[in-house]
């Protein structure tokens, strides 16, 4: 039985060499305020070290951010693939930053959700994370 005090554990990371981390700095603050446990990896990560951390930490969510260019279409699917290889596909993957409209269907198909950006109110993000974790990870309503 899940009690209401159970904390969402979330890995926040940017893959690749993108340096635009304003978003994740603020997001991490908001998530902590909302009572989540944030494992902050910051910038300059590889999909491998993000997945390793998420598994080692037994995280519920991996939150990925990317803004600079188009390489997220390589990094994000790679994170999903690695989770699958490691038998950890039950970790929810979400993405934000500057994810262009045309790429979203493909990412959604891989189970990536969110696509939050500059103007998304943070309560919307928190709500999305909590609902998805409860539904898919904790299997509670």
Q: How many residues does the chain have?
A: 141
* Least CB distance to another protein at residue 69 (A): 5
| Nearest to another protein of 74, 140 (CB atom) | 74
CA distance between the termini of the chain: 11
How far apart are CB 33 and another protein at their closest, in Å?
10
Q: How far is CA 102 from the centre of its chain?
A: 20
Per CB under 8 A, residues contacting another protein are 16-19, 21-22, 25-26, 29, 44, 46, 68-71, 73-74, 98, 100, 117-119, 121-122
Sign of CA dihedral 43, 68, 29, 79: negative
Q: Which CB, 31 or 92, lies closer to another protein?
A: 31
Kind plus residue range of the DSSP H or E element containing 33: helix 22-33
**Residue (104 or 134) nearer to another protein, CB:** 104
């Amino acid at each position: 039985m899940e009690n209401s005090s159970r904390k969402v554990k979330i890995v926040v990371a940017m893959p690749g060499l993108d340096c635009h981390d304003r978003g994740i700095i603020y997001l991490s603050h908001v998530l902590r305020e909302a009572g989540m446990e944030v494992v902050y990896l910051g910038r300059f990560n590889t999909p491998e070290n993000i997945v390793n951390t998420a598994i080692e930490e037994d995280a519920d969510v991996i939150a990925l951010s990317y803004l600079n260019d188009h390489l997220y279409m390589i990094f994000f699917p790679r994170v999903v693939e690695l989770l699958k290889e490691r038998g950890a596909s039950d970790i929810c993957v979400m993405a934000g930053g500057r994810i262009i409209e045309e790429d979203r269907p493909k990412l959604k198909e891989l189970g990536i959700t969110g696509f939050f950006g500059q103007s998304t109110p943070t309560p919307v993000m928190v709500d999305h994370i909590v609902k998805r974790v409860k539904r898919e990870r904790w299997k509670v309503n």
